[in-house]
Structures are given as structure tokens and as C-alpha cells.
Amino acid sequence: MEIDDQKQQQLEAPAAVPEGFNTDYLRVYYDGKHPGCDQSYVGRREFSFTLENDIYLRFQSFDSAAELESSIKEKCPFKIDIGPVYSVDPSKRHAYAQSGNNVFVPVERELIFDIDISDYDDVRYCCSGADVCSDCWPLMTIAIKILDTSLRDDFGFSHILWVYSGRRGVHCWVCDSRARKLSNEQRAAIADYFRVYKGGENALKKVSLAGPVLHPFLARSYMDVLKTFFEDRLLLSQQLFSSERCQKILDLIPDENVASEVHDKWQGNRRSSVSKEDVNVTRWEQLKTTLQSGKHKGLRRCVEEIVFSYTYPRLDMEVVFVFQLIPVTVMILILQLFRLYHRYGP
């Protein structure tokens, strides 16, 4: 059944963040904030509540919005998770267990992605962990831009909901019915399509763009979004080429000779620079020229690799598979708002 249009209507204006946490605030918040929902479908959707004292209730289901609303008001959960839609009403699953065969199975589940700002800790100097500021939040917004464009243009999805995950990142919920029916294998394939960043803790160079040209998706991401963002914003906001920080970029160059050659040049120029232009910009231009000169083999894609390393979206590869429950602690950010934030900051 089509609940796509109705899901769009759920989008709400941001709520005020309470000063201190209080169960009463929860009551106030929950009152009047509930989405409309389709009757027969929602009855098979799993919700789970985490109550005071860490009591965890799974397989909650409701036949109507009103039921959901009253249950929440009554129980005042500290945390609500939304699970998949099952083949039968989750709260009645035991009745079906008698009949033997796997009758109680998840059948539909939105396509969900999770981007965590703490995954960018190795490329931002302003904050770390769950902290975010106006210098590094743009990493999130461009990640959203790239993924959103690809989900629409490449995969043909249209009902996409971006949500601030309440602590340190964003969730993407793709609600098209086609998306809801994807198997785990297909979800993993989409996640892999988006994956560029492949390193673990020990890999120095984590982005490797082989091939004489980039796949159209990567090329478009680079030309339309990443290049400008890196050169016009990130370079400067993070001072990537300052004396203490530039080594990190040089470490991404596979040819050690070239890296040390450039490094020595910068050491030499430090005191003699009279240019008004920011040192970051100058050094980046110098580096680009060297890498793209064609004199050195194997450095063909190095410029792009550096840009991708710093700016390309880093998906949490524990991509949501059909079984998992996703926290929806505070739903305040919507796509229209994201555009505002992008201009003015969080």
C-alpha cells in the first residue's frame, strides 16, 4: 500500500530543546506530535521502547496512530526504536509460532543509512567524538548532498527523509516501496556502490581510485560538490596545509620522493612568503601542479584521492539490515531545513 505520500506529511517543525531532562517534558513533547499513519500497515510495524530504569520492551505494535500516541504518553519511553514491518502483528507472534514454519518474518523495511561525524575524526581538527561545530558540520551536509543526489538520480528513489540522529550524525530513510522491499544483499550492494573509503586503523592511504577515469557517479560527486567544498571551505576552515598538519596530506602521496620534494619546498618557502593569499591555498595549488604534471607515474589520480579522503561521505558500513531497530530520539531535521542549515550552520 502507498504510505509514501503520508510519510512526507509527517515532517514537522523543529521542537525546542528542553533545558534539562525531565520526564514531564517528554509528556509535553509527545502530546500533539504524532504522525498520521496507514491503518493496516502500521499494525505490523515493530516499535520498541526503552523505559526508565533501562527496561526494554520489544515487539510493540499498534493498530492506529491514536493507539501509538496513548501508549507513548502512558509509558513515556526515554528512547523509541522503529523496526521493520513483519508478516504478522509482532505482538501476536507467539500465536503463529505454533504453526511451525517461519511465519513471523520481517517483510518490509526502509532503506537506511547512517553517517556519524565521529567517523571523520581523522580529518577534522576542530572537534572530535560527538562534538560538532560550524566548521566541521558542513562535512555532513555535503555527504547528504552527494548521497541524496545519487539516491534520486542513480537509483530512482524519491521519498527520502534525512534526520538528525540526535547525537552526532544523520540518518537517511528511503521510504519508497521499492526501497522497502530490498533484500539484505541488495542493500549491501547499494552501500558498496557508495563506498570509497576503505582503510582500517593501520592503512595510511585509505582511498584508492584506480582506473584511467572515474565512474560517472564519482566524477559527478567530485566535479559538482567535493572539489569546490575542499578548495573553498575545508582547506581554510581546517587549515589543512599548516606546518603541523600538512604532513598528513603528504602521507597520502604514494611516491615518497615526490612527497619529500614538496615538503622541502614548503619548508624553504615558509619565511619568504610575501603573498597575501592564504598559505593553504598556495600550497594546495603547488601540490596540484606537481601531482598533475604527469612527470611522476602512478600519481594520476592522487589529487582526487586526497580530496575524496577528506570530504567523501563515510557511511557506517553496519548498514541497516532488515532486522535492526533504529533509534528515533528526536525528529527535528528535515530536508528543507537541511538547506537552511547548509547556509547558516547548525
Partner 1 sequence: MEIVRSHRQVAAAAAAAGGGGGAGALPTYKAAPQLEVRLEEFELFAIDRLRVLKGISDGLSRGKRPEEMEKLVSELWKTHMRHQDPAETLNKDIISHFVLRLVYCRTEELRKWFLSMETTLFRYRFRLESPESQRMLMTEFQLPYKALPHSEFEAVKDKLSQVARSIGQSANVEHVFFKVPFEEVPDLVASRRVFLSKGYAYVAMSQVVSLVVTQFRCNISKALALTNRKWTATIKEQEKDRLTPIVEALSNAYFGPDYSQPKDAVDISLKDIDQLAKSSFPLCMRHMLDKLRENHHLKHGGRMQFGLFLKGAGLKLEDALAFWRAEFSQKIGSERFDKEYAYTIRHNYGKEGKRTDYTPYSCQKIISATPGVGDHHGCPFRHFGEENLRAALNKMGVGGHALEEIMDKVKNRHYQLACTLTFETTHGVSCDSGINHPNQYFSESQKVLRAKNQTMESQSQSAT
Phi and psi for 196 in degrees, rounded to 5? -125, -35
Which one of residues 129, 216, 298, 345 is an interface residue with partner 1 (CB under 8 A)? 216
Which one of residues 130, 213, 223, 340 is an interface residue with partner 1 (CB under 8 A)? 213
**Cα–Cα nearest to 314, from 81, 123, 173:** 123
Query: In terms of CB distance, is 178 or 245 closer to partner 1?
Result: 178
Q: Compute the half-sphere exposure of residue 161: CA atoms within 13 Å on the CB side of its CA.
A: 24
Number of residues that bind partner 1 (CB under 8 A): 24
Q: How far apart are CA 121 and CA 115, in angstroms?
A: 13
Closest approach of partner 1 to the CB of residue 216, in Å: 5
Cell of 174: 528511503
Closest approach of partner 1 to the CB of residue 165, in Å: 25
Which residues partner with 47 through β-bridges?
60, 82
| Site map 137..176 versus partner 1, x via CB under 8 A | ----------------xxxxx-------------------
Closest approach of partner 1 to the CB of residue 189, in Å: 4
Q: Compute the half-sphere exposure of residue 107: CA atoms within 13 Å on the CB side of its CA.
A: 13
Task: Specify the length of the chain in residues.
Answer: 346
Closest approach of partner 1 to the CB of residue 184, in Å: 10
Query: In terms of CB distance, is 182 or 315 closer to partner 1?
Result: 182
**What count of other Cβ atoms lies within 10 Å of the Cβ of residue 322?**
18
| Site map 173..212 versus partner 1, x via CB under 8 A | -----x---x--xx-xxx-xx----------------xxx
**Cα–Cα nearest to 143, from 240, 225, 207, 68:** 225
Closest approach of partner 1 to the CB of residue 87, in Å: 20
Which one of residues 218, 226, 235, 287 is an interface residue with partner 1 (CB under 8 A)? 218
- Using an 8 Å Cβ cutoff, are 45 and 287 in contact? no
Which one of residues 66, 133, 219, 340 is an interface residue with partner 1 (CB under 8 A)? 219
DSSP state of 195: -
Query: At 96, which helix (H) or strand (E)?
Result: helix 93-97
The label of the residue with cell 525546542 reads 16
Stretch that binds partner 1, among 8-16, 35-43, 159-167, 214-222 (CB under 8 A): 214-222
Active site members? 46, 114, 116
Query: In terms of CB distance, is 73 or 178 closer to partner 1?
Result: 178
| Site map 81..120 versus partner 1, x via CB under 8 A | ----------------------------------------
Query: In terms of CB distance, is 65 or 191 closer to partner 1?
Result: 191
215 binds partner 1 (CB under 8 A): yes
Closest approach of partner 1 to the CB of residue 170, in Å: 23
Query: In terms of CB distance, is 193 or 323 closer to partner 1?
Result: 193
190 in helix, strand or coil?
helix
Which residues partner with 170 through β-bridges?
115, 164
Query: At 115, which helix (H) or strand (E)?
Result: strand 111-116
Phi and psi for 243 in degrees, rounded to 5? -55, -40
Closest approach of partner 1 to the CB of residue 210, in Å: 7
* 22 Cβ contact partners less than 8 Å away, ≥ 6 residues apart: none
Residues in touch with partner 1 (CB under 8 A)? 153-157, 178, 182, 185-186, 188-190, 192-193, 210-219
